[in-house]
Structure 1
Amino acid sequence: MTKRTAARGQERTGLRGRLAAGTVAVGMATAGAAGCSGTDGFGDDGTLRIVGSTDVEHLDTASSISVGSYALTRVFARTLFGYTSSNTFAETVPIEADLAAEVPTRENGGISRNGRTYRIRLRPGVKWSNGRPVVADDLVRGLKRLCNPASPAGGMAYYTSTIHGFASYCEGFGAVSSRSATALAKYQNTHSITGLRTSLDTLWITLVRPASDFLNILSMGFAAPAPAEYDAYVPDSPELRRHTLSTGPYMIKTYEPGRRYLLVRNPHWSDDPLRGQGPVRIEITLAQDSPETVLEQLQQGTADLSWDLPLPASALPSLRDDPSFAVRETPSNSPYLVFNTLSPNNGGALGRREVRQALQFAVDRASLAKLYGGPAIARPLHTVIPPGNLGHRDFDLYPTPGDSGDPATCRSRLKTPLTLRFPYRTTGSQKRIAELIAQNLRACGVTVRLIPDTTGGLYGQTLVTPSQTRDGAWDIAAPGWTPDWYGNNGRSIIQPLFDGRTYGQNSTNYGGYDNPKVNALIDRALTASTLTRAADAWHEADRLIMNDAAIIPLLDRKLALYHSARVRNALFIPTAGAYDWTRIRL
């Protein structure tokens, strides 16, 4: 969640953690051989140069959830299913086989008649970057790691609510010491999940009930396989990051936390229908916080792509006729303002619906849209589910003139004086966004204390640590959310953000919102017999969440992208908010 946005400031599920600086080399005997020099027809040195601001929140696929981290993990971690990259949005929506030999259906015998059992055969010949074959047990190990207590998956509910026995397995895992790799591996290897069984090259999955979006769930990075070698490390620890293995076209050769990645070609990669092995190397340079400076590097050709910094809105008019500029579709709720409903500050005022409803009238969405480049890029959003996603229907429970806010109505409805703690990301345009929202809130009589935070800190600690939430370390924040998949994707918006039953460490239900009626609507949508009925239930949940004013939706944005003149074959991945690095030619 998970998703999960890269070139928009690592929203969604955002970048979550900055480690101490220091160079480490990933422990792969073959890494040096893959990083050969020479042009090989790929440009001056064959290196795709990506520049950005902040390191990923989690590198381990078990807990990696931001759009930006997905852009990275996708190049070294394959999943059973995935999506093709394309500059035609509709072509990126259908599920494709990746590690799986084929997409299972009822017709080919891959899905049982009752829709509860999936038989998935692995694509033959897939290997880890150390040369060992990928087997079905690696996929089970990857799934079992999702609810580890050290660094659990923010999207765990996708799996606990679908796979038979997953929830009870995870309940027991929570009692294991999060600091002991030995204890974690022992629980994992001595406890089974009733809904998972394997042979060497086949995985059988039994569901609690039929789920029409289950293949989408298996396409997420969470469902990537994990090698037996990972049992030696605490999940997402610095030690594991230094020993990341790859099934994708590239592997991490050098990692300087918070500063730099160098990925080189994986010599054991083969038979991948979704990725290429274009550049000889991929280098990501971090700690660059100025969108203007990054754009200048792209225009001068000293860098090729931006990772997590948006284009400056002031530059967009001059770029419109540049062949290196493009605007891509990625329907999203990004950013949105989330309320900490568990905060004890102000006498627990944000836990009261009427207070949150009053604040809905404060925000000037029209001015926010201008910060991103105006209506060609961003448009005001009033619903939880953005256009282009299952269950979306237009409605506005808190209209203001011209979407410019209504401070008078906010003041008249707000009976309680408020002082709100507002942590914000310092990268890109995030500071200006926070300042504008703070100005709007002050206009309706609210005192706002802006607290600068790194993207990794906000998404890796502040918003996802229940103790900080309950202690009132923050009251409001402005994350963003891009759906984890498109098409039949109602689950990928409502469930991770608003299912109160899943609140806990790393949850993307940041504010601890919990309404039993919404939870029931989630269950109704997930068990609906048709997509129409599912869409109706998702829409009902949307209206109820907005009536509760759990968040303030702000914008539905497209993504403005720019690349250097030497980049060719730049194909877009909407769920990653980025071009497909593996297919680029230089």
Structure 2
Amino acid sequence: MRPHVATAMGVAVALVATLGACSENTGESATVDTGRQQTGVIATDPKDSLGPAPAVAGARAGGTVTVIRETPISHLDPQRTYSFVGLMVSPLFARFLTTWKDDGEGNLVLVGDLAETPGTDVNDDCKVWEFTIKDGVKFEDGRPVTAKEIGYGIARSFDPDLTGGPTYLQEWLADTPQYDTAWDFRANRNALPPGLSTPDEKTLRFEFAKPRCDLPFAVSLPTTAPLPPDRDTGINLGHAPFSSGPYRVSRYQAGVEVVLERNEHWDAATDPVRHQYPDRFVWTFGSTPDAAVNRVIADNGTDQSALSWDYVPASLVSRVAGDAGLRSRTVLSPTPSANQLLINNQRVTDLRVRQALNYAIDRQGLVKVLGGQHVAAPMSTLMPSATIGHQPYDAYPAGPNGDLDKARELLGGQTPELVLGAADSSAEQRQATQLKGNLERAGFRITIRNIPADAKLDEIKRKDNPWDLYLGSWAADWPSGASILPVLYDGRSIKATGNSNQAYFDDPAINAEFDRILALPPAEQAAEWAELDERIMREHAPVVPLYVDVAYLVHGSKVGGVFVSSVFGYPSFVNAHVKP
């Protein structure tokens, strides 16, 4: 979201938004709210960034929250964290320069976390930013967190041995995607990368060659977690991260269990979002989603204060949705994860064919195949509704099941033969089969070619891939068009491999619009992204928007305060507590 933060105190820069509802467990009948209007703001009054976080009604201290998950967390090193599970668990033991206040109903405020505010744009041009670090924030051994340790955390993200995390800060500071060749962390462990400095213990300064107006949002990611150099264990840090948050990792058993217990040196007065209600969080691994959900449904013993991390699987949706007694123990919300039928624009060059694909699509049928409204919600825009600035539109209105006649009209008697690349997983094969039948009724001839599921992402990121169509998804790192549209549709980013622009769409006029909007103040960007979203679809139809994932979670009867993050679409634990 490339924000331009006002420097005057007492100001909040408003960003009008249409955010998908983040529905907390209320006991009411579960429905998916996809049309509620909300507002996102960037807070610059230091009071908004102060703690303590407002008390959660009915919450008390004590107890253990257990999170059941099928697959292990790969590691807990903040600078290497980029998975949804990592992004949701890391705030329990790590703090970042900024963070999001999320009220559980989709309303967002970006506030200072380690910093007193979300940053100062020193010269009002987004090239020089300063963050003043709060007093009173401490590590788990009682040492104070200063700008030096935050700077070191960012510096170690340049280490090529510590890959996997976001690379925004590294690329922006180095002014090149090849950041690890521009500055060698291993040869400069006692220094900071060019452009990053700590004028004093309370000040962290960024200087960029180009405007980076979305820096306050980028520094909300775990890259900015602080670390003293003497506690850096390199690739092993993920086994025992050094805490600056309300909890510390007391046990890490790879592939089996992670236990977090209270950090006695965490000060609630410095923290605007987190609480420290449970005595501990226990993550256990190995149960399939079906087994985990069945355990939580049974609600026996310690599972009364347990949560199944994985969404309710399609095999159990009807059972959970049909049990009125479980409604108070479910959380249902659309997420920011958007799914598209990607069109390879290098191969499918006829605009009318791409438009016909959009008219032909049977979204309701696809949602049914996926498991129904508890699993997916149809979408017709490039940006999901959880994006600040989102405006609903349908460039190719065809009703819930598609307009086959309009598609045939656009094809003008042609029968385009298209190859649909599909992962060989059972879930994607079901989707591919539905899409094949749907599109062939509109006059297309579709051949499905299977791709090994574990190789699919790498394969469709190859510029010379051999498919005309393939399923893709995208979840932004912060809820702005800046982290969606340029990333996915800027043709200047296309390279031989590793492409995020997997539609291989390239239009000079649209590329110029990306540059223009990214240079605007944040209050102006939101509406511009929405307008550009619609323009891209109407003028070019580079993809077919399909659906957003829906989070459908079930928890034990003693779990309280869990809601779906409107930023990442997975359970947030900042308000979690154990009921009596």
TM-score by length of 2: 0.73
Contact preservation (8 Å) 1:463, 1:510:
no
Q: Could you tell me how far apart the structure 2 residues matched to 1:506 and 1:381 are?
A: 26
Q: Which residue of structure 2 lines up, in the alignment, with residue 216 of structure 1?
A: 217
Residue aligning to 1:490: 481
Identify if the C-alpha distance between structure 1 residues 372 and 263 changes in structure 2 by more than 3 Å, giving closer, same or farther: farther
Query: What secondary structure, in the 3-state scheme, does the structure 1 residue paired with 2:473 have?
Result: coil
Deviations 1:341-375 (A, max 9, x none): 6xxxxxx6357766655544453211233356656
CA spacing shift, 1:75–1:497, aligned 2, 3 Å? farther
Contact 2:424/2:452, CA 8 A, preserved across alignment: yes
**Structure 1 residues 395 and 574, CA gap change in structure 2 (3 angstroms):** closer
- Of residues 126, 130, 137, the one that matches 2:137 is 126
Question: After alignment, is 61-70 or 470-479 more displaced?
Answer: 470-479
**How far apart are 1:199 and its partner, in Å?**
1.8
Change (3 A) 1:156 1:439: farther
Residue in structure 2 matched with residue 275 of structure 1 by the alignment: 274
- Report the Cα offset of residue 83 of structure 1: 1.7
1:193 is aligned to 2:194? yes
8 Å CA contact 1:381–1:554 kept in 2: the answer is yes
Are the structure 2 counterparts of residues 555 and 528 from structure 1 closer, same or farther at C-alpha, using a change threshold of 3 Å?
same
What SS does the corresponding residue of 1:51 show, helix, strand or coil? strand
CA contact (8 A) 1:79 1:224 kept: yes
Q: Structure 1 length normalisation: TM-score?
A: 0.73
* Deviation (angstroms), 1:452: 5.6
1:466-495 CA-to-partner distances (Å, cap 9, x unmatched) read 8x7246387755443344334xx2212223
Q: Residue 462 of structure 2 aligns with which residue?
A: 469
SS in structure 1 of the partner of residue 96 of structure 2 = coil
Contact 1:146-1:222 at 8 Å conserved across structures: yes
Structure 1's 541 and 575: CA in aligned 2 closer, same or farther, altered over 3 A? Answer: closer
Give the direction of change, closer, same or farther, for the CA distance of 1:415–1:491 in structure 2 (3 Å limit): same
Question: Structure 1 residues 396 and 581, CA, compared in 2 at 3 Å: closer, same or farther?
Answer: closer
Partner of 2:364: 366
> Cα 1:335–1:308, aligned 2, differ >3 Å: closer, same or farther?
farther
Residues 422 and 474 of structure 1 are in contact (CA less than 8 Å); yes or no, is this contact kept in structure 2?
no
Residues 1:194 and 1:111: Cα distance change in structure 2 (over 3 Å): closer
C-alpha distance after superposition, 1:372-424 (max 9, x if no partner): 66568754212102335344334434443433463963976876533333126
Superposed displacement of residue 82, structure 1: 0.8
Q: Go from structure 1 to structure 2 and tell me whether the alpha carbon gap of 1:315 and 1:582 turns closer, same or farther (over 3 Å shift).
A: same
Aligned residue number for residue 381 of structure 2: 383
- Deviations 1:485-526, CA, capped at 9 Å, x for gaps: 34xx22122233333445578664445544443332221111
Asked if 1:481 corresponds to 2:474, the answer is: yes
Point out the more displaced range, 349-358 or 415-424. Answer: 349-358
For residues 538 and 190 of structure 2, the distance between their equivalents in structure 1, rounded to whole angstroms, comes to 43
Aligned positions of 1:59-208 closer than 5 A: 59-90=76-107, 93-104=108-119, 111-112=122-123, 116-146=127-157, 148-150=159-161, 152=163, 155-157=166-168, 160=171, 165-168=173-176, 171=178, 173-174=180-181, 184-186=185-187, 192-194=193-195, 196-208=197-209
Between the aligned residues of both structures, percent identity stands at 26
SS of the aligned residue for 2:462 comes to: helix
Partner Cα distance (1:474, 1:58) in 2:
34
After TM superposition, list the pairs within 5 Å mapping 1:323-362 onto structure 2.
323-328=328-333, 330=335, 332-339=336-343, 349=347, 356-362=354-360
Cross-structure match for 1:531 = 523
CA distance in 2, matches of 1:100, 1:557: 33
Counterpart amino acid of residue 323 in structure 1: S
Query: Per the alignment, in what secondary structure is the counterpart of residue 315 of structure 1?
Result: helix
Cα deviation for residue 545 of structure 1 reads 5.5
Q: What RMSD, in angstroms, separates the aligned Cα atoms of the two structures?
A: 4.0
Q: Return the structure number with greater strand share.
A: 2
Distance 1:425 1:149 in 2: 32
Corresponding residue for residue 568 of structure 2: 576
Instruction: Give the direction of change, closer, same or farther, for the CA distance of 1:317–1:240 in structure 2 (3 Å limit).
Output: closer
Q: Deviations over 1:71-122 (max 9, x none)?
A: 12222221111123432322xx1112211134446xxxx7555565433221
Structure 1 residue 553: Cα displacement:
1.2
User: Which residue of 256, 261, 265 corresponds with 2:258?
Assistant: 261
Distance 1:167 1:418, change over 3 A: same
- Does the residue aligned with 2:260 lie in a helix, a strand or coil? strand
Structure 2: where are the runs of 5+ without partners? 2-21, 24-59
In 2, Cα distance between the equivalents of 1:394 and 1:526?
22
Change (3 A) 1:189 1:559: same
Q: Specify whether residues 562 and 452 from structure 1 end up closer, same or farther in structure 2 by C-alpha distance, changes over 3 A only.
A: farther
Classify the secondary structure of the residue corresponding to 1:337.
strand
| Alpha carbons of structure 1 residues 60 and 324: separation in structure 2 relative to 1, 3 Å | same
Change in CA separation of 1:379 and 1:400 when aligned onto 2, cut-off 3 Å:
same
Amino acid corresponding to residue 421 of structure 1 in structure 2: G
| Structure 2 counterpart of 1:246, one-letter code | S
Shift of 1:567: 0.7
* Alpha-carbon distance in 2 for matches of 1:147, 1:439: 48
Cα 1:413–1:71, aligned 2, differ >3 Å: closer, same or farther? Answer: farther
The structure-2 alpha-carbon separation of the partners of 1:404 and 1:261, relative to structure 1 and needing over 3 Å to count, comes to: farther
The 3 A distance-change label for structure 1 pair 77 and 401 is: same
Distance 2:374 2:368 in 1: 10
> Which amino acid counterpart does residue 241 of structure 1 have in structure 2?
G
Question: When the two structures are aligned, how many residues end up with a matched partner?
Answer: 508
Give SS of 2:175's match.
helix
Trace 1:394-433 onto structure 2 (pairs within 5 A).
394-404=392-402, 406=404, 409=408, 417-423=417-423, 432-433=430-431
CA contact 1:333–1:385 (8 Å) conserved in 2: no
Q: State the distance in 1 between where 2:212 and 2:492 align.
A: 19
Residue 491 of structure 1 aligns to a residue whose secondary structure is: helix
Cα distance in 1, alignment partners of residues 566 and 75 from structure 2: 20
Contact 2:338–2:383 (8 Å) recurs in 1: no
What code does the residue aligned with 2:490 have?
D
Query: 1:340 touches 1:469 (CA, 8 Å); kept in 2?
Result: no
Determine the structure 2 residue equivalent to 1:295. Answer: 293
Contact 1:462/1:474 (8 A) holds in 2: no
Does the CA-based 8 Å contact 2:158-2:179 persist in structure 1?
A: no
Closer/same/farther in 2, CA of residues 259 and 175 from structure 1, 3 Å limit: farther
Q: Aligned pair in 2 of structure 1 residues 320, 111: CA closer, same or farther (>3 Å)?
A: farther
How much does 1:132 deviate? 4.3
The amino acid across from 1:463 in the alignment is L
Q: Distance in 1 between matches of 2:490 and 2:81?
A: 20
Aligned mates of 2:414, 2:73 — CA distance in 1: 39
The residue correspondences of 1:16-95 to structure 2 (distance < 5 A) are 46-56=63-73, 59-90=76-107, 93-95=108-110
Deviates more, 1:362-371 or 1:541-550: 541-550
Mark the CA change 1:151 to 1:336 in structure 2 (over 3 Å): closer, same or farther. Answer: farther
1:48 positional shift:
1.6
Q: State the distance in 2 between where 1:520 and 1:320 align.
A: 53
Larger deviation, residues 54-63 vs 130-139: 54-63
- Distance across 2 between alignment mates of 1:559 and 1:404: 25
> Could you tell me how far apart the structure 2 residues matched to 1:376 and 1:116 are?
44
- Who is 1:37 aligned against? none
- The CA distance in 2 between the partners of 1:82 and 1:421, in whole Å, is 38
- Shift in alpha-carbon separation, 1:283–1:414, aligned structure 2, 3 A: farther
Q: Provide, for residues 2-32 of structure 1, a one-character-per-residue CA deviation record: whole Å limited to 9, x for no partner.
A: xxxx99xxxxxxxxxxxxxxxxxxxxxxxxx
The offset of 1:546, in angstroms, is 6.2
